[in-house]
């Protein structure tokens, strides 16, 4: 049964800043996906908490959106309300930094380098927000957020504001209890990181070098969702896709990047259906050739059926 009753729609329409049938494609790094039934962008944590509590009470589906990376939104859009989390405040105290969930990881990497802190350089290769990085324990160059994370302030609808220790978040390789466990639907408000005192200029030089290298191996100037697949244990999804001869494979306007096999590029007007079909073709061929099962890192959301 649909959630869409008159009183629920009326309640959503009363909420500040809410729009209807809002296009989402431009709010994703892929540039793909249909509209949100309802959409709102909120920077104040308390306002987000109030809204998701109201949704829970009314059984209205909601989706928390950050920078829209690592996401494939269905062509038929997203049911209920999409809440874009844009709280971007940050506070450096000694070697600790507390950052709002809506702050971009790359921006935070520069902020902490400016503050003379080290140990967060890897974040210059992570395209999403702090909230998204907690949600899937984002990482790059062999480092993950979990290695610097001290605590996370959050909100669990039905139970209230809370502070999680990293162990409570069950952080794994590109996953957490927020993505796949008991905390699904909970909000990340901010994350506190423990870094090291050091030379910020050296950090910036390292980040510049890492960015250059990333530009040589990944199609960073294209519309994409980051890595499509998780690396299978002890192997690399990109290597497997290349070995299966699938670089350049096309489905509509979705193409396997000729530069890196674990990227699918929106070549202009690709649909979510194109990308999903291409993912399935890659999985089938890699399974047939090497017996390896590629699991998606990108998250498929919205109305797929
Ligand atoms: N390789 C190929 N062909 C390809 C791509 C890669 O043979 O088309 C080989 C490389 O030569 C290398 C190995 O595969 O020997 C690993 O490749 P790479 O160093 O590019 O790293 P990756 O394992 O493909 C991971 C993360 C990236 C992160 C990079 C850099 C995953 C799924 N991906 O990629 O993260 O940027 O390391 O450290 O863990 C992301 O998560 O969205 C992401 C981009």
Compute the distance between CA of residue 166 and CA of residue 114 in angstroms, rounded to an integer.
26
- Strand 254-256 to 264-266 pairing: antiparallel
- Residue 53, pLDDT score: 98
Q: Tell me, what's the pLDDT at 172?
A: 97
Confidence of residue 62 (pLDDT cuts 50, 70, 90): very high
Buried b / exposed e over 207-227, threshold 16 CB at 10 Å, is beebeeeeeeebbbebbbbbb
Mean pLDDT (whole number) for 181-205: 98
pLDDT surpasses 90 at 1:
no
Decide if 190 is catalytic: no
Q: Is residue 8 lining ligand 1, measured as CB closer than 6 Å?
A: no
Name residue, tokens 């507390």: 98
Q: Are 279 and 251 in contact (CB under 8 A)?
A: no
- A 10 A CB-CB count for 269 gives 11
pLDDT reported for residue 117: 98
Residue by residue, DSSP assigns 108-165 as HHHHHHHTTEES-GGGGG--SBHHHHHHTT-EETTEEGGGTEEEEEEEETTTEEEEE-
Q: Which of 125, 139, 132 is nearest to 103 (CA)?
A: 132
In whole angstroms, what is the distance from residue 25 CA to residue 76 CA? 11
Region 145-160: mean pLDDT is 98
- From ligand 1's centre to the CA of 224, what distance in Å? 14
Atom of ligand 1 nearest to the CA of 70: 42
Q: Which residues pair with 106 in a beta bridge?
A: none
- Element (H or E) spanning 278, and its range? helix 272-290
Q: pLDDT digit string (tens) for 104-115?
A: 999 999 999 999
| Active-site residue, 159 included | no
Tens of pLDDT, residue by residue over 63-78, are 999 999 999 999 999 9
Per-residue pLDDT at 183 exceeds 80: yes
Q: What is the pLDDT of residue 203?
A: 98
Find all residues with CB under 8 Å of 132, minimum gap 6, and list them.
66, 67, 69, 70, 138
What whole-number distance in Å separates Cα of residue 139 and Cα of residue 133?
8
227 noted as active-site residue: yes
pLDDT band of 85, cuts 50, 70, 90 = very high
Q: For tokens 């992570």, what's the residue?
A: 126
Pocket test for ligand 1, best of 133, 144, 212, 236 (most atoms within 8 A of CB): 236
Nearest to residue 254, comparing CAs of 220, 294, 222? Answer: 222
């Amino acid at each position: 049964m649909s959630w869409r009753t008159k009183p629920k729609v009326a309640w959503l329409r009363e909420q500040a800043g809410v729009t209807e049938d809002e296009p989402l494609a431009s709010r994703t790094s892929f540039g793909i996906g249909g509209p949100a039934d309802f959409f709102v962008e909120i920077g104040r944590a308390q306002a987000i908490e109030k809204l998701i509590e109201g949704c829970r009470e009314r059984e209205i589906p909601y989706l928390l959106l950050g920078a829209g990376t690592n996401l494939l939104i269905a062509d038929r859009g997203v049911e209920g309300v999409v809440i874009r989390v844009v709280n971007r405040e940050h506070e450096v105290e000694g070697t600790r930094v507390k950052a709002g969930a809506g702050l971009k990881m790359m921006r935070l990497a520069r902020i902490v380098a400016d503050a003379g802190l080290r140990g967060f350089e890897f974040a210059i290769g992570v395209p999403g927000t702090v909230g998204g990085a907690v949600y899937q324990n984002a990482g790059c160059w062999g480092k993950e957020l979990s290695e610097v994370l001290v605590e996370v302030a959050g909100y669990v609808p039905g139970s209230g504001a809370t502070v999680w220790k990293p162990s409570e978040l069950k952080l794994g390789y590109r996953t957490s209890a927020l993505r796949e466990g008991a905390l699904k639907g909970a909000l990340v408000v901010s994350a506190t990181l423990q870094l090291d005192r050091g030379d910020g200029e050296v950090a910036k030089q390292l980040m510049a070098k890492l960015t250059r290298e990333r530009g040589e191996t990944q199609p960073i100037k294209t519309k994409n969702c980051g890595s499509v697949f998780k690396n299978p244990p002890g192997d690399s999804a990109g290597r497997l896709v290349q070995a299966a001869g699938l670089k350049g494979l096309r489905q509509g306007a979705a193409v396997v990047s000729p530069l890196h096999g674990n990227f699918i590029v929106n070549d202009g007007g690709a649909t979510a259906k194109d990308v999903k079909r291409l993912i399935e073709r890659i999985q089938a061929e890699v399974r047939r050739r090497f017996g390896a099962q590629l699991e998606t890192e990108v998250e498929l959301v919205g109305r797929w059926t």
